[in-house]
Amino acid sequence: MEKRFTFLFTDIEGSTRLWERHPEAMSISLTHHNAVISQAIETHQGRIFKTVGDGFCAVFDSAPNALSAALAAQRELFKAVEQANGPPLKLRVRMAVHTGLAEELNDDYFGPTLNRVARLISAGHGGQILFSAATHALVEGQLPDGADLRDLGTHRLRDLNEMLHIYQLVAADVPTNFVSINSLTPRPTNLPAQLTSFVGREKDTADIARLLCRPNVRLLTLLGPGGIGKTRLSIQIGANLRDEFEDGVYFIALAALSQPVALLEAIAETLNIAESDVAGNVGLLESVKAYLSERQTLLVLDNFEQIMDAAPLLNELLAAAARLKILVTSRERLRVYGEFISSITPLAVPENAITAADALLRFPAAALFVERAQAVELDFVLTADNTPAIAEICRRLDGLPLAIELAAARVREFSPVEIVSQLTSRLKLLAEGPCDVPARQQTIRGAIDWSFNLLTDYEQTTFVRLAVFVGVFSTDAACAVIGVGDAEFNPDVLALFERLCDKSLLQREQHDAHSKIATYRMLEVLREYALERLKGRDELDAARSWHSAYYLELLETVEPGLTGVAQIESFAQLEAARYDLQAALEWALCESEIDKAARMVSVLWRHWSTRSRLSEGQRYLEQVLAKAESLPPTLQIRVQHGAGRLALLRHQYKKANKLFQSALVLCRENQDFAGQAMSLLSLGEIELDEGNFHGAEQHFQSGLTIYRGQKDQDGIARALDNLGVIANQQGDYAKATELLRESLTLARQYGTAERQALVLNNLAEALRAQGNYAQAAVFYQESMEIYRQLDFAVGVAVILHNLGYIAQHVGDSQRALASFLEALRLLQPLEEKQLIAECFAGLGGAFLKIGDLPRSVRLLSASKTLMDALGVQLEAVDQTQYDLNLADARTQLDAPAWSSAWIAGQTLPLDTLINEALNA
């Protein structure tokens, strides 16, 4: 007969490895572990009915007792590790509690409830206590003393049909912060959603996935000509392997890139790695390597033939990251050490004549043709009459997916028999051409030729002129390019685009999230064909010039929004056009149109800054600066300001100072008052970063005087904000508050969203220093919301860090710890070393408050060590708290333990310290 019980299961994480490496220490530690678990269960009226390996299975009549037993055991295990006479190994024990019906038989228990608790414990991490919704319903209001719960949401666990709502038991004196539980919740990915089904290649997909999973295969290239389906296959392989890479599978399209250096920038952007190193000499490569070094990740790099010179970089990344794997699609071998090749062959086609429809569909090439034909002609069916013709089409097109899709797109106009006839003449003509062109490329060329020749004149003109777009483009952008300089070309563009999409020569993208306008793109192999046609018409240079002019106009139209109230929407608009903006800029530089290039970079630097593409921006700005002498002074000033701001963000103070000083001279010579003020404020920021408050204040006051004279309200807000920061740093909190409130009033009325967020944070800092925690928290939250809208991770991390101090000030230790840890998680991939050091200081205090003294001292030590190395200091209010925490920790920890922890904080690698904090 079934009865309701509550079960507690325990399991030591990594016990097999511990037995292999430390058998004697493991034996001693296990004896202690067994005594602790047994005593906790028995003390809380539970009964051990089974042991499995080193894990315990216990049953309770009371759900609150089961949770109390679990927490008591974790507390004792955690406490014992810190004791001098404790067990030699720190055993991390995961625990799970679940309530349900079970049948008792011969001192054992049976039923689905036992399966659920077994799956629940497998989802947890060492030191973690998980419990189910069924248990939660019975313990509400009866949690153990000093305990709380954390809702982890609903998850699917292995072998369970229904989703399980999972909670975690948390307490101040045991570890509570863990990475995501091991559920079947999807791993992180950015793989593009596919609008059509994946046809054929099931065996290829499985074989390549198995090959990529072999330990010795780190770099695998899918090799084949354009149009053979490499991209679609790579996406499918990535999707199938998502569960094998706990830190994600990421797709990076390279077709729009033209320079090898852009590969690193594309990887960093996809993984959300911002380039910011305080010392200014580590660089983006080291940031990417550091980020990948501790992660199990698959990078899918598509169209690598665009940047073959970047191939050696892949080996650098693989050498730095032991669990990284890279899947590449390319028309050429990379020819680097360790590369494995998988040559992609066409889809299988029938070798002989076939008349039976069901027999034909067993061939992937035919199945693809039929599916794509039905997508454009709903009434299309496979019949005995058209089966032989479809088989012949697939044979003539060598099973090449792109060629088959182009042919299938024509079933509205032609029957399969007619398509065979037209393809035959086109391919025969190609066969009589140059013999050094690979046969498959001749077939692709023939299929595209055939499709192109069936277009109307307007459709052909539109198709070839669209080749100048390297990324996603809007109808507005297309209209500005395809009809310029041609008075007779005035088509219905939307109708033309729809027809080109129907013929598989253009792809419709999802609507832009901000503007809600339709956008389009062209497959790279089709774009290459169209570019050839455009060159043949002698229109390529003209089209590129029109393209460049359009994107310059776009930049100058959007520019007011970048420094106004429409900042969020304006940045989003530039992001959507990113690759074509880059292509337009490169065209201007290539043609030595320095004036046009300068006008572009003088706007783009703001976008590069916000999106943390600092090295990309510096590369282009330096190309313009090298030829800036011929520019009008006003344009030289704008370029120098942009270059200076990016250098300042990268902590390249000498370079930034030189640029701003040069700009200041030009501004004074040309009576550019706004430029003078901006230069002075930027020079003041350099002084402030270097700790020269007097010099900084002089620059800020000079800038403020100019802004007031010009009645520039946004400029006044910026200058007041900077002066408020100095007053706050010097401990004059009343003055700081007054200045910052005035700045905020102006920023709300005249400033950008970013300015408002910055001033809100600085005002909150001044209020926090005065003990006005409630009002400070309100301003912090408002600032964080703006930073989230701007998708500015560094800003969000700064606010979380500051909110951690607010929680600490009001005695909420758990919330403080959670805020600091969330900030650290955001900062870890960004390599923001100064902010990480500040976060360590906050975490040191948070761990102190929950009694984790050794970890507290390690982090306090690491914070000081890192800040000293960088030559920077904590904010005044944070330094005061740091000193209090340090003194408190010193009184609570004996001298040997203190010394050991302090030295560890000075010597452990940064990544080790970060991971130790995050996994506490």
Question: CATH number, domain at 288?
Answer: 3.40.50.300
Whether 713 is in a domain gets the answer: no
Question: CATH number, domain at 900?
Answer: 1.25.40
Q: Is 70 exceeded by the pLDDT of residue 486? A: no
Which string of DSSP letters, residue by residue, matches 811-848?
A: T-HHHHHHHHHHHHHHHGGGT-HHHHHHHHHHHHHHHH
Q: Binning pLDDT at 50, 70 and 90, where does residue 763 land?
A: very high
My answer on whether 820 and 870 are in the same domain is yes
My answer on whether 319 and 376 are in the same domain is no
What is the largest distance, in Å, between two alpha-carbon atoms of the chain? Answer: 97
> What whole-number distance in Å separates Cα of residue 404 and Cα of residue 402?
5
Q: Which helix (H) or strand (E) holds 42?
A: helix 23-43
Q: Is 60 exceeded by the pLDDT of residue 149? A: yes
> What whole-number distance in Å separates Cα of residue 132 and Cα of residue 100?
10
Last-in-domain residue among 314, 343, 372: 343
> What whole-number distance in Å separates Cα of residue 641 and Cα of residue 681?
11
Burial call 567-586: b when 16+ CB within 10 Å, e when fewer: bbebbbbbebbbbbbbbbbb
Count CB-CB contacts under 10 A for residue 221: 25
Radius of gyration from C-alpha coordinates of the chain = 32
pLDDT in tens, 543-557: 999 999 999 999 999
Q: Which 3 state secondary structure label does DSSP give 532? A: helix
On whether the CB atoms of residues 116 and 132 are closer than 8 A, the answer is yes
Last-in-domain residue among 287, 313, 343: 343
Mean pLDDT of 660-681: 96
Strands 47-52 and 55-60: what pairing?
antiparallel
Q: Please state, for a pLDDT cut of 70, what percent of the chain lies above it.
A: 92
My answer on whether 483 and 369 are in the same domain is no
Closest by CA position to 47, among listed 61, 33, 30: 61
Q: Is 60 exceeded by the pLDDT of residue 282? A: no
**pLDDT at residue number 84:** 54
Q: Is 90 exceeded by the pLDDT of residue 758? A: yes
Question: CATH number, domain at 474?
Answer: 1.10.10.10
Range of the domain at 276: 202-343
Handedness of CA 785, 789, 790, 794 (dihedral sign): positive
Q: Binning pLDDT at 50, 70 and 90, where does residue 639 land?
A: very high
Question: CATH number, domain at 147?
Answer: 3.30.70.1230
| Tokens 């007619």, residue located | 418
Whether 735 is in a domain gets the answer: no
Query: Can you read off the two tokens belonging to residue 821?
Result: 């840890």
Q: Is 80 exceeded by the pLDDT of residue 821? A: yes
> What whole-number distance in Å separates Cα of residue 399 and Cα of residue 365?
5
User: Identity (one letter) of the amino acid at 559?
Assistant: E
Q: Is 90 exceeded by the pLDDT of residue 656? A: yes
Whether 57 is in a domain gets the answer: yes
On whether the CB atoms of residues 904 and 831 are closer than 8 A, the answer is no
Which string of DSSP letters, residue by residue, matches 100-169?
A: EEEEEETTEEESHHHHHHHHHHHHS-TT-EEEEHHHHHHHTT-PPTTEEEEEEEEE--TT-SS-EEEEEE
**pLDDT at residue number 278:** 33
My answer on whether 292 and 267 are in the same domain is yes
**pLDDT at residue number 159:** 63
Residue 152's φ and ψ, nearest 5 degrees, are: -95, 0
pLDDT in tens, 12-53: 988 877 887 788 888 888 999 999 999 999 999 999 999 888
Beta bridge partners of 99: 6
My answer on whether 210 and 332 are in the same domain is yes
Q: Please state, for a pLDDT cut of 90, what percent of the chain lies above it.
A: 44
More confident residue, 597 or 447: 597
> What whole-number distance in Å separates Cα of residue 442 and Cα of residue 430?
6
Whether 296 is in a domain gets the answer: yes
Burial call 501-539: b when 16+ CB within 10 Å, e when fewer: eebbbbeeeeebeeeeeebbbbbbbbbebbeebbeeeeb
Whether 667 is in a domain gets the answer: no
Query: Can you read off the two tokens belonging to residue 700?
Result: 């800020």
The mean pLDDT value of the chain amounts to: 87
Q: Is 50 exceeded by the pLDDT of residue 185? A: yes
My answer on whether 35 and 149 are in the same domain is yes
My answer on whether 315 and 261 are in the same domain is yes
User: Identity (one letter) of the amino acid at 742?
Assistant: E
> What whole-number distance in Å separates Cα of residue 256 and Cα of residue 582?
9
* H-helix segments, 161-217: 202-213
User: How many domains, the chain?
Assistant: 5
Whether 706 is in a domain gets the answer: no
Q: Is 80 exceeded by the pLDDT of residue 65? A: yes
On whether the CB atoms of residues 11 and 55 are closer than 8 A, the answer is yes
**pLDDT at residue number 315:** 94
User: In the sheet where 473-474 sits, what is the strand order?
Assistant: 473-474, 519-521, 507-508
Q: Is 70 exceeded by the pLDDT of residue 699? A: yes
Q: Which 3 state secondary structure label does DSSP give 248? A: coil
Whether 565 is in a domain gets the answer: no
pLDDT in tens, 871-914: 778 888 889 899 999 999 998 988 888 888 899 899 888 878 88
C-alpha distances in Å from residue 246, one per residue of 5, 187, 242, 271, 294: 34, 6, 8, 14, 11
| Tokens 């912060």, residue located | 177
**pLDDT at residue number 276:** 47
Query: For residue 274, how far is the Cα from the chain centroid?
Result: 10
Q: Binning pLDDT at 50, 70 and 90, where does residue 491 land?
A: low
My answer on whether 298 and 401 are in the same domain is no
My answer on whether 509 and 367 are in the same domain is no
Last-in-domain residue among 494, 520, 545: 545
Q: Which helix (H) or strand (E) holds 713?
A: helix 713-729
Query: Can you read off the two tokens belonging to residue 608?
Result: 């590069």
Q: Is 80 exceeded by the pLDDT of residue 817? A: yes
Closest by CA position to 699, among listed 675, 732, 723: 723
User: Identity (one letter) of the amino acid at 729?
Assistant: Q
My answer on whether 415 and 375 are in the same domain is yes
**pLDDT at residue number 306:** 83
**pLDDT at residue number 437:** 46
Query: Can you read off the two tokens belonging to residue 384?
Result: 């005995």
Closest by CA position to 69, among listed 56, 81, 79, 83: 56
| Tokens 């602790």, residue located | 36
> What whole-number distance in Å separates Cα of residue 759 and Cα of residue 779?
9
**pLDDT at residue number 105:** 84
Q: How far apart are the first and last CA of the chain?
A: 43
> What whole-number distance in Å separates Cα of residue 471 and Cα of residue 580?
6
Closest by CA position to 511, among listed 539, 484, 540, 474: 474
Query: What is this structure's pTM?
Result: 0.65
- Contacting residues for 401 by C-beta, under 8 A, at least 6 apart: 227, 228, 229, 232, 346, 347, 365, 368
> What whole-number distance in Å separates Cα of residue 151 and Cα of residue 523?
45
Whether 193 is in a domain gets the answer: no
Query: Can you read off the two tokens belonging to residue 572?
Result: 């989003």
Q: Which helix (H) or strand (E) holds 259?
A: none
> What whole-number distance in Å separates Cα of residue 874 and Cα of residue 880?
9
On whether the CB atoms of residues 821 and 177 are closer than 8 A, the answer is yes
> What whole-number distance in Å separates Cα of residue 580 and Cα of residue 361?
41
What number of H helices and E strands is found in the chain? 40, 16
My answer on whether 42 and 163 are in the same domain is yes
My answer on whether 17 and 142 are in the same domain is yes
Q: Is 50 exceeded by the pLDDT of residue 513? A: no
pLDDT in tens, 197-256: 778 888 888 899 999 999 999 999 998 877 888 888 999 999 888 878 888 899 999 988
Q: Is 80 exceeded by the pLDDT of residue 180? A: no
Query: Can you read off the two tokens belonging to residue 166?
Result: 């999972």
Mean pLDDT of 401-408: 86
